[in-house]
Amino acid sequence: MVEATAIECVWEGRALLGAAPLWCPERGDAGQLLFVDTLASRRYAYDLASGKTHSWALDETCCGLARVAGGSARSPDGATLYRSDTPAGVIHAFDLDAQGNPARQREHIRFPSTQGYPDGMACDREGGLWVAHWEGGRISRFLPDGRLDETLTLSASRVTACAFGGAELDQLFITTAATGRDDETAAGGLFRCRPGVAGLSVAEYASDVILPDAI
């Protein structure tokens, strides 16, 4: 269990809609966490070594990529795709064939209305599914059978996405949104914790699209 005091805000700039976090180990001295603000059309790089966050303008192509990429994740064995239907409050699961084609859509997890709506997500190496709760102020880990395993509470209610990073992929980075949350001082910030389990490496297809060469 991660203590609330162990969840730190590593960037306090108020992203209107932080999204699409992507860990890029080849950037900077110790890797960088890339993410975007789709409403403000900005792209960011949080540098793990320096603790600084750099920003660039974001074009509409990248905004579209971020909106599509945020709400899905694959299981460690590559056999299952999870995808959130945020307005419906449901996470669907799909079987994936050897070519990555989805089939057999089914309801995997349904969120109670009191816990917000499922948004971005990431799988860990043990098959746990970490899901951001939009309007719920938390990140939850679900077991492969859909049972709730753990919940991490944040000081921002509109939690948008998460991604594993760090040299051992043992740090969980969490993006949030400040839009409509003027009364929340931490809204729109980038958070980080060590959840006690490592994540999966992600495809690097988006790294050159989201940001130019590493600084």
CB atoms within 10 A of CB 8: 10
**Residue 71 pLDDT:** 80
**Residue 113 pLDDT:** 87
Domains of the chain (ranges, CATH numbers): 4-17+70-205 (2.120.10.30)
CA distance 81 to 94: 5
- Residue stretches of the chain with pLDDT short of 50: 4, 65, 68, 204-215
Residues with a catalytic annotation lie at: 119
Question: 93 CB contacts (<8 Å, ≥6 apart)?
Answer: 80, 81, 82, 105, 106, 107, 108
**Residue 60 pLDDT:** 57
CA distance 157 to 114: 12
What's the pTM value of the predicted model, to 2 decimals? Answer: 0.90
- Report which secondary-structure segment, H or E, holds 161: strand 159-165
Q: Each residue of 4-51: pLDDT tens digit?
A: 458 999 999 999 999 999 999 999 999 999 999 999 999 999 999 999
